[in-house]
A and B are shown apart, each in its own frame.
Chain A
Amino acid sequence: RGESADTEPIVWYGMMPHPYITEVSEGAAAAARDAGVAILKVVGQEWTQDNENANVKALSTKGHKAFSIFPGDPAGANGLFGQLVRNGQYVVAYGAEPNVPTPATFTVATDIHQAATDACEALVRMMGGKGRILNVLETVTDVNTKVRNDAIVAVAERHPDVQIVQTISDMSQVSVAKERIQSALAALGDGVDGIITTGYNPTLAAAAVLTEWHADPEHKRIRFIGIDTGPTVIEAIRNGSIDATVSQNPFGHGYISCTILARMVAGAEPREPYQFINAGHVIITKDNLDTYADEIRAITGRIIAEIDMKYLK
């Protein structure tokens, strides 16, 4: 296999241009700086395993040694990872955990079940321990959706006065999400006390819908928690149109995964064949708007500090 001097040892792969991916890539770039290795950053065209396979397979022919990859389809990605590993290349998954067992050596991700549970508990607290929840899921072809839904249902069951009044799904675009959330709100009227969204697009859409909803003084206050951040979401929290969102440490996904790969390329060995690294999450409300970034950075710092004790030898 030809390996020219300018072949970067590490490839960081993002699904497609997307705010989450952009933040992760910043983490990857920071890791490259801090570890002093060259990292090739590649971003695909579609959020599908197909597209990822086509692109990564093309890359795998080029003599790179290690890959940091988002598993588009947690089961399907294992096929891709297996091929890379068989080809003698290291793989670290970031952002979501592939189905276990997996050929990848590490996963750096938010514990989505925990994050969804925490978010839903936070929503229940905001609703004062009782009320009706509109559960907004993002896609129907993503296993994480099911994990999140299970977590939310479990929280609702723990609180006798809380019920999920309707679940809506299948909205991988903001426009569709806005339409569906609006429709549900229109259909349920005052029958909703809280909304939880567990995807980026519905969160963006819900922020817009609720901003509009709360602009009408006759409408009752609907509590809300979303996931992921974006300028409009942060702005809506700041001006009180929505209550909270969960930040998933995307910077850390990129930074930690690439740092580990850099060590492995330099010769470090994993302590276990496979480990999950919880990159942590933080609930953002009006109170910690200006400090949440530091909280997340602190989590990342803690993980990096423990790398040699817990993950590598």
Chain B
Amino acid sequence: MLELHNISKSFPGAKALDGVSVRFEPGEIHALVGENGAGKSTLLKIITGLYQPDSGEIFFNGKPLQFRSYRDSLQAGIDIVHQEIQVIPESTVAESIMINNLTAFGHGGIIVWKRLYAAARAYMNMVDLIIPPDTLVKSLSPAQKRLTQIARALAGQAKVILLDEPTGALTEHESGNLFRVLRGLREQGVTLVFVSHKFEEVFSLCDRATVLRDGRYIGTHPIAELTPGSLIAMMIGRVFTDPHLGKVNVNQERIVMSVDNVTSHGRIHEASFDLHEGEILGFYGLVGAGRSELARVLIGDLPMDAGRLLVNGKAATIRNIGDSLYRYRIGYVTENRKEEGLFLRDTVRTNISVAVWPSLRHWLTRYINHKAEDQVCHDTVRSLSIKTPGLNQTVDNLSGGNQQKISVGKWLAADCDILIIDEPTIGVDVGAKDQIHHLIRDLAQIKRKAVILISSDMPEIIKLANRILVFRGGRIAGEVQDVDNPKKGYPDISADIGKFLR
């Protein structure tokens, strides 16, 4: 039994945790929910010794814990799967999984690879990661990296496993698999703490849920006593209703982008589609289907080997993202905010305004106008409710969800005519998710832009898109139309999508 008493933790400009007390029992899957920045990750990091609390105590099976480092925590049998995917690029998958007990696979510090691979393969099978164990981690997709990390936590045989948004990059199939494994562990009496913003998961998997809000403990309840509505109310402190977004008003007359047989060797095969003004076009597919890669071909970040691209009816040659942004006004929000979306060591200001600097120049002196820049940043911070103590805050110090908002916010500020948004709500809480959804919707409906929405979150894509292209193996396998028709239900559309996935 893991008990926390009055845990508090402050960061410069943010009180992350304020007197939180909670108990995690063996043999339960305990959901930890809350908005972005509520302090979930911080709490888990304190339990595992990655952060030291400012005050408070932790008891594990009645004994006080005083972790000085993560390794102490591992020794005590407490392990964590982090929210952010962190891998060792040049190591093998097997090694990454077994990294904590490499010594167990050899004599006197010398590794016997055969035994290591056999052992690792068992855990890889468990999470359905079917690749050779000597694959180098750097060649994996984000989802495969995530599965590697989960397998590592399983291999640690810990008595407590903390999972911080483990399903972030996973598809339903992979998630379902993971849940089977977690239920098995529960049977064995393992304590599981599960952080997720996806309510379906919380309700189908967990036994009890603890809610945090603004670093404070709100309450712990058996799942059976909760409804999504009541849980959201606890999270955001008010009653929340998901308004129906209604029909998308597309200007069928105006094709803003026309993709004609675009091919990029080994990535994309003969993709063709039109994008209209005011349209939200969804790209759906399983991990690795090539959605992101097509997006990168369109913005000139990957080579286009054949095919044509028309923007506003005229043939467009896009050699780099500078071309796409400044000449054709096409933007791309990356799915990978930490590595490609943000300047983590830089300020909120720079991160929001980086793509608009040229237009902020003083008409005469050509130097960036500070007032105009701050105006843009403040507007973005306000419209997305980004939680930051100031524009000078280092982005690294913001919570995952707020970082994601900045990654999206930069492109809203850039005011593109065509915006490609890749997985906009990974690790974003319900409140923020809703905000981002409305922003995307307004972008198309009010500002009359065209949006390509890439998402692995089926409810999200169905909620927003008016048309969905389904990708498989680098091809567009099919198109689901009329998605925004209120008469069509979620089951119908998902069944349509499912047809093309096989």
- In-complex A–B contact (CB below 8 Å): no
Residues of B within 8 A of A (CB): none
Residues of chain A whose beta carbon lies under 8 Å from any beta carbon of chain B: none
